[in-house]
């Protein structure tokens, strides 16, 4: 999966509740840096997601890549320590879309979830 698609997935997750808080923004900035995206490219993606121009999650091809992308999205959704209704639904739907096993999805929704 190309870096822009990966970052778009993370941005879509961050905006699921209609706002991006400071902790989510810091994590997005770290991901953009790790993905070697310019700040302009990252900001363009964030603006397009906020405007509703980008709406669809990209699905990585390999099982390991899908699992990694799922974990990254869950980290974004859980960074503030709370999982609200829309965030819980996103984890469930994205998990199914990414072909993640039910036990992993349930663990991601649980209070003791820790990424490996």
Q: Which tokens sit at 42? A: 């990252």
Per-residue pLDDT tens over the stretch 67-92: 999 999 999 999 888 888 999 999 99
61-81: burial string, b at 16+ Cβ within 10 Å, e else: eeeeebbbbbbbbbbbbbbee
User: What does residue 115 show for φ and ψ, rounded to 5 degrees?
Assistant: -70, 150
Per-residue pLDDT tens over the stretch 91-112: 999 999 999 999 999 999 998 8
Report helix angle 22-34 to 63-78, nearest 10.
150
pLDDT at 113: 80
Give pTM, 2 decimals. Answer: 0.89
pLDDT at 80: 83
Residues 80 and 24: beta-carbon distance below 8 Å? yes
pLDDT at 51: 95
């Amino acid at each position: 999966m190309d870096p822009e698609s990966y970052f778009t997935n993370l941005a879509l997750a961050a905006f699921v509740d209609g706002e991006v808080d400071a902790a989510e923004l810091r994590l997005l900035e770290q991901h953009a840096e790790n993905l070697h995206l310019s700040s302009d490219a990252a900001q363009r993606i964030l603006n397009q997601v906020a405007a509703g121009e980008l709406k669809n999650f990209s699905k990585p091809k390999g099982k390991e890549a899908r699992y990694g992308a799922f974990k990254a999205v869950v980290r974004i959704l859980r960074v503030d320590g709370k999982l609200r209704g829309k965030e819980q639904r996103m984890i469930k739907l994205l998990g199914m879309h990414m072909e993640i096993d039910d036990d992993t999805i349930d663990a991601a929704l649980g209070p003791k979830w820790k990424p490996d």
